[in-house]
Structure 1
């Protein structure tokens, strides 16, 4: 997307220390949506360096630190096609931390069958499949990326997100406000579409009556007042929200001490349209009342 300029000797760094540089590293599965994430980061003010080899990660971070206000917020999208990718990335991130940087690593991923369909749709080979099948390339990449996925600060499951939804998700996570605080996403979903890969907590709200069986509510969603009130007025709903908000709030300081910056609370019902949506909205509000940065996101709303 951009070529990072070489700094002039007279330029003073915009950040007082390397820890002040807002540095994001994007990696993940081929076909997972790295390019869309990069565009979304540009939308919220990041200077994006695309297709960067991991061997240049430290060098580019140092250049960003020295290059002034234009690169105060920098994102680097790493190219997976290096066969030393995993070891180099984890080691490079550790090197950045040793030098005083505080990078955030974002890993994009998707379910195997979704990745296959995406490659078939664009009629492209997987970069690691060689003479084999797309599935062979995905399997090789999964092994290559295992350590990077495990150590990522944020895991974004793009399986059920279109391009606009993924862009909105990234913009929610990386908007300038509260950039260094723990950010909590209450993610509604439908169990029939699968549990989100990026969930830190999974909440099942199928113990509540389903508005689907109320004819006047069936075609509406949990973001609408009639459905929301129906769900939230059910016995146990308010107690559930209050109790779970308290549980998450009690863990927030521990997550921050451990350096975790993103927590996803997945709230599930059958179809991801009524109960989970209403509870995810109410839970985000309750978490904000507890002084936390929390935002609802609805993965499966609109699929039915």
Structure 2
């Protein structure tokens, strides 16, 4: 995508499920010196972009929080985003969380869901999820906040956008356990269950993939090194394409049964290989490492 806005600043639209952390993200971006506009109707995005273009560098990074509080106006967001993207680099961040977590958050603050009406909190969440489905599909960055508290979410946002100053694309390599579910915000998923499980080795069971003994065991298995070399090589053109298309973030999820041994060891090895790709910053996360 070509930025035809001259010296106009960067624009990020933040949206997603109510209760998923939009306010926390807005505050984190403000701390990073973004100019943040909250509860902006989609129809006001074009005037906002025009202002950033006229600001002559005074507003280099602008974030607009757009959500269902805009009532009927919110329905126009997909069309507005399509129109804006034809002339400027405008990115869309979508915040999500599981229904169970969202219900718990609304109950904790004792507030109704904005689409709840005469129904339950879950009714409102399901209505909103259906309404947001096409918007989620067009997002440049999806963050699932189910496992985050407000401090962890703020830290995640800070890490993502601080790294942008030195890289055109940030990739998160995240280990996980299939028995806890595939990460919903993963762009690509790799399955390490083709390797023997260290869990069945009494000497390794209590350790994790971050321990040298487990790492050596996993890497010594038939196919492990071949997979790492081939998969890293196959991702290189994908990451180059992401940069050409101005996709600034992606997540590669690496899974095994419990997310403790194979996926952890292989995720760290894969991240080390991807760190050599030009223009790419690599982060490693282990989602299920602390679970039993």
State if a TM-score over 0.5 links the two structures: yes
Aligned equivalent of 1:29, options 14, 17, 25? 17
Cα shift at 1:53: 2.2
Aligned partner of 1:165 in structure 2 is: 152
CA contact (8 A) 1:245 1:283 kept: yes
Aligned partner of 2:50 in structure 1 is: 62
Cα 1:65–1:232 change in 2 (3 A) is farther
Secondary structure of the residue that 2:108 maps to in structure 1?
Answer: helix
Counterparts of 2:256 and 2:39 in 1: how far apart (Å)? 39
Counterparts of 1:223 and 1:120 in 2: how far apart (Å)? 38
Aligned partner of 1:105 in structure 2 is: 92
Aligned partner of 2:116 in structure 1 is: 129
Aligned partner of 1:248 in structure 2 is: 235
Aligned equivalent of 1:297, options 271, 280, 285? 285
Cα 1:86–1:225 change in 2 (3 A) is farther
Aligned equivalent of 1:225, options 212, 220, 243? 212
Counterparts of 2:45 and 2:228 in 1: how far apart (Å)? 43
Cα 1:180–1:67 change in 2 (3 A) is farther
262-271 or 222-231, larger mean C-alpha shift: 222-231
Is 1:205–2:192 an aligned residue pair?
yes
CA contact (8 A) 2:178 2:255 kept: yes
Counterparts of 1:286 and 1:42 in 2: how far apart (Å)? 34
Counterparts of 1:223 and 1:20 in 2: how far apart (Å)? 44
CA contact (8 A) 1:52 1:78 kept: yes
CA contact (8 A) 1:47 1:73 kept: yes
RMSD: 2.6
Aligned equivalent of 1:154, options 137, 141, 148? 141
Cα shift at 1:192: 1.3
Cα 1:172–1:225 change in 2 (3 A) is farther
Cα 1:178–1:216 change in 2 (3 A) is farther
Cα shift at 1:282: 1.2
Aligned partner of 2:128 in structure 1 is: 141
Q: Is there any run of 5+ residues in structure 2 with no aligned partner, and where?
A: none
Aligned partner of 2:226 in structure 1 is: 239
- TM-score, normalised with respect to structure 1: 0.84
Cα 1:166–1:229 change in 2 (3 A) is farther
Cα shift at 1:18: 4.6
Cα shift at 1:252: 2.7
162-171 or 134-143, larger mean C-alpha shift: 162-171
> What whole-Å deviation, never above 9, does each CA across 1:216-260 have from its counterpart, x for those lacking one?
544443334343333233332211111111111132333444453
Cα 1:36–1:302 change in 2 (3 A) is farther
CA contact (8 A) 1:81 1:128 kept: no
Cα 1:232–1:261 change in 2 (3 A) is same
Q: Is there any run of 5+ residues in structure 1 with no aligned partner, and where?
A: 1-14
Aligned equivalent of 1:94, options 74, 79, 82? 82
CA contact (8 A) 2:167 2:281 kept: no
Aligned partner of 1:74 in structure 2 is: 62
Question: How many residues end up aligned between the 2 structures?
Answer: 289
Cα 1:17–1:251 change in 2 (3 A) is same
CA contact (8 A) 1:231 1:237 kept: yes
Counterparts of 1:283 and 1:201 in 2: how far apart (Å)? 13
